[in-house]
Chain A
Amino acid sequence: MQITVTVNGTTHAHDVEPRTLLVHYLREVVGLTGTNIGCDTSSCGACTVHLNGASVKSCTVLAVQADGQSITTIEGLANGSELHPMQQAFMENHGLQCGYCTPGMVMAATSLLEENPHPTEQDVRLGLEGNLCRCTGYHNIVKSVLAAAEGANA
């Protein structure tokens, strides 16, 4: 099927198999490998991207469903060499170790703050429930998101 998708501001037109998942489309067709795959049951959230500004697990969306839509991946978050405030907060608070869950975690966290700019610690923990991390114990991820919220609200 022919689809037209805007990814990180650039419009792409491709012919894809109907069964192609958005995450495979992004990684293998568009060539953006920052979005990671960590499971096959939509449990881990490593593949989280923004679809029209809201976070989705891109393993749970078919590429054809993204036809005519706008996608932002982790590669589209920074402004040139300047990290997005959420990326900066993760760096400053050691919110990542191996980095594999990080793109999905950052995309979920930015979306969370869009919905709730003043989250409590519990809001952050519940808001990121769909994103698993095996390295950090979440302590510094939560701290990063709260710091980003505070920075944005300052």
Chain B
Amino acid sequence: MTVVDTPPAGVIGTRRLRREDPALLTGEAKYTNDLPIPGALHLALVRSPYAHAKILNIDLSAALAAQGVVAAYTGSDLQALWASPMPCAWPVTPDMKNPAHYPLALSKACYVGDGVACVLATSETAARDAAELVVVDYEPLPAVTNLEAALADDVVIHDEIGTNKSYTWDLKIGEDAVTQAFADAAYTVSERYVQQRLLPMAMEPRAVAAVPQPFGGDVTLYSATQVPHILKIMAALTCGIPEQQLRVVAPAVGGGFGSKLNVYAEELLCLGLSRKHGAPVRWNEERTENSQATIHGRAQIQHIELAADSNGKLTAVRVRLLADMGAYLQLVTPGVPLLGAFLYAGVYDLPQAYDFSCTSVFTTMTPTDAYRGAGRPEATYAIERAMDALAREVGVDPMEIRRRNFIQADQFPYTAMTGLTYDSGDHQAAADKAMEMVGYADLRARQTTQNVDGATKRLGIGISSYFEMCGLAPSRVLASLNYGAGGWEAATVRILPTNKVQVVTGATPHGQGHVTSWSMIVADKLGVDPEDVDVLHSDTAISPLGLDTYGSRSLVVGGVAIDMACDRVLDKARKIAAHQLECDAEDLDFAGGVFSVKGSPDKQAPLAGVAFAAFTAHDLPDGVEPNLEAHVTYDPPNFSWPFGTHICVVEVDTETGQVDVVQYVAVDDCGNQINPLIVDGQVHGGVIQGLAQALFEEAVYDADGNLQTSTLAEYLVPSAADVPQVTTGHTITPSPTNPLGVKGIGEAGTIGAAPAVINAVVDALSGLGVTEMPMPASPLNVWTAIQAAQSTTVQEGNA
């Protein structure tokens, strides 16, 4: 590990302010529902109020007679629009069950919010009013909301597959060794955790507008999406549109967190109906629709068992996961548990003794899919809580159990038992820094004096050390996991005749500040002012190749592609400069935007002159094409492996169950940082999102499958008044697998936070015998856990 104390050269590593901000701060930025689209028809969906029901009849007549209504359709009416069902890009096993799923349900509704009919009208209000006039006869069927009960198949949701089970996926390394390790273990831990369902709740609900050209069949789809490139391919296939005739644009996008990494019914409906009617069709999601019809996250039941020797050193890990797919498989729904499957040993050195198995089931709830971290927060939560349980078994401090098990700095690059190689790391250094920042020893001392018998305000300290597998992803690894696409990213760098630079990126920002960071990379590389670098993105007509933004991949894949494209541009520029200076290209240095001859630094060719010469093409060396432009498609050789330690300090009121977070320290190592201002912003937001899972948020369904938290009045996205400051710190361990030495940071905060917070709550209450704590640790849940522990203690005392 090296901590950077010296000021960085160039702009990389500086806290440069974002170029994106003025447009966003003044209302100038245009989100999808801000776009003026003359003549657009408005789409409204009729959604099932039942979690599970046969559709017996749909009467559209009253809706069709309403003012402003142009058309109304059932699912059956529109079947001719679809060349195939809605796409799932991740068939994780050959025998995975994937029921056909169309933009509107045909014979059965399978969750509250499932679209069963739609209305097109000349205004949004007319469309919504008319949708309420559609009369649907339903035959309600029993809801399936309990994962373990779903597996019993008493009520089968999708008749055509005959079971609620979608798949079982295993990752078993040394099965005999696992059995032996548990037989020989000095200590074992067996824990069950519930990852409650979460609503992603990007502040911008989804919005779509499809605009067909009057002649020729071309159509432009504007959508609040993270993935215009993936959407283009999938929508073209699903709607039977020749791909070259479809352009997808993601205007300003108001957050995604995975929820806009999808191909949604409304996108396909707008596309299909715009072509059918020869008119633009648009749809704006309301928040309640967003809660019901945009994917949910997490929703897993985890069983984790640890075996350890007499020193508390891990000897085997066994995991049984039950994952809730919801009613259908969306774009990457089945793959989410796999993204966590490799991480249930966390940051710890484990021998070849790892037994992971995931079974996934359908329920009559909104489909789940990737939500910030996608599989990795779940895995980290399980191992980090289980490590605290192991520390209690062994009778050592939670930090000590981690210290005994950390993969050591000198073991990197480390080949894990799963076969994956962790690129670089120093867990002890990150943990030490976090302990120092939070004042760990003092806190433990304070805890001893504060948490005395009868104390009602108890101090708790929670630790979480994490590894994140991100920068999705090496295409060959994705192939081995049956993912339906690669993990590369594309970039074009072109130097314009006036020495301004255009960068085209296949990454798709929606709040991450790509324009700022990408311009910084190019500025240092080419010796130009970052303000002179334009970054083009999010429009498949401008950026035809790309795999978009998710999985903390933009910088480590897309940013590296830009760095490499700069190298290629410079290679070409070097040849032209050598021609101008009448020397060999190998004899040229390049620094600060100027080529100079080694040993004769006064002989110079500025890049500006080279760029103009490349444009005029009057005097280029033989075989060199005009203009300075390079395109790179970069396929990363490995994931990137950011890591760190978070420490959360809470005070729990045992009489009310209220948890106050009094201190939160996050030490994250994402390798070299392009813009520390943006890195810290990502950590702040990620931590609070993870903390929100730990303390506030839960998508609550009743037994009939009704979502009871479908507005922001019921679903507790925390406000500023509910959350603490986040103190950030960093160690810097560059990744050796890419030339920038960078790792992802978009999901790290979310991955680290939830276990740190819950470990702190349990730690605060451990003197009361509390070891179990559900998420969210709401006052009621905390109070109930205290009562349960106390009554157990009393019963044991009486026994």
Contact = CB atoms under 8 A, between A and B. Distances in A.
B513 interface: yes
25 contacts: A32-B27, A34-B27, A38-B203, A43-B711, A44-B712, A46-B203, A83-B22, A83-B25, A87-B22, A92-B17, A96-B24, A97-B511, A99-B20, A99-B511, A100-B204, A100-B255, A103-B27, A106-B25, A126-B721, A131-B720, A133-B203, A134-B717, A137-B689, A140-B680, A142-B720
Interface string B700-735: 000000000001110001011101011000000000
A130 B720 CA distance: 9
Interface residues of B, number: 55
Contacts of B721: 125-126, 128-129
Nearest to A105: B720
A36 interface: yes
B34 interface: yes
Given A34-B26, A140-B684, A98 B253 contact: yes
B685 A134 contact: yes
Contact of A101 (B203, B205, B253): B203
Interface of A: 27, 31-41, 43-44, 46, 73-75, 77-78, 83, 87, 90-92, 94, 96-103, 106, 121, 124-126, 128-142
Nearest to B28: A34
A60 to B, nearest CB: 13
A103 B711 CA distance: 21
B754 to A, nearest CB: 14
B203 A134 contact: yes
Contacts of A130: 719
A96 B685 contact: no
A13 B150 CA distance: 59
A37 to B, nearest CB: 8
B31 A97 contact: no
A38 B287 contact: yes
Nearest to B678: A94
A77 B202 CA distance: 25
B26 A77 contact: yes
A17 to B, nearest CB: 8
Nearest to A92: B17
A77 B252 CA distance: 21
Given A39-B287, A77-B26, A132-B203, A100 B31 contact: yes
Interface string B24-43: 11111111011010000000
Nearest to B715: A43
B24 A102 contact: yes
Given A128-B719, A134-B203, A136-B684, A74 B26 contact: yes
A36 B254 contact: yes
Contacts of B720: 124-126, 128-129, 131, 133, 138, 141-142
Contacts, number: 173
Contacts of A99: 20-21, 23-25, 29, 252, 254, 511
B726 A96 contact: no
A137 B685 contact: yes
B288 interface: yes
B617 to A, nearest CB: 39
Interface string B659-674: 0000000000000000
B192 interface: no
Given A34-B27, A99-B252, A99-B254, 7 more contacts: A36-B31, A38-B287, A40-B288, A94-B678, A101-B203, A125-B720, A132-B712
Contact of B204 (A36, A121, A126, A137): A36
A41 B776 CA distance: 23
Contacts of A92: 17
A78 B26 contact: yes
B18 A91 contact: yes
Interface string B176-219: 00000000000000000000000001111100000000000000
Interface in B680-705: 680-681, 684-689
Nearest to B713: A41
B550 interface: no
Given A125-B720, A125-B721, A135-B685, A100 B22 contact: no
Contacts of B205: 37-38
A132 B254 CA distance: 13
Nearest to A43: B712
B510 interface: yes
B604 to A, nearest CB: 37
A44 B203 contact: yes
Contacts of A43: 711-713
B317 to A, nearest CB: 31
In order of increasing CB-CB distance, the 7 nearest A-B pairs are A34-B27, A100-B254, A99-B24, A98-B511, A137-B688, A43-B712, A33-B34
A87 B681 contact: no
Given A78-B26, A99-B29, A138 B688 contact: yes
A32 to B, nearest CB: 7
A136 B713 contact: no
B694 to A, nearest CB: 13
A87 B26 contact: yes
A133 B17 CA distance: 20
B721 to A, nearest CB: 4
Contacts of A140: 680-681, 684
Contacts of B687: 137
Given A87-B25, A126-B721, A134 B257 contact: yes
A123 B426 CA distance: 40
Contacts of B204: 36, 38, 98, 100
A122 B531 CA distance: 37
Contacts of B122: none
A98 B510 contact: yes
Nearest to B749: A137
Nearest to A91: B21
Given A33-B34, A44-B712, A131 B17 contact: no
Nearest to A87: B25
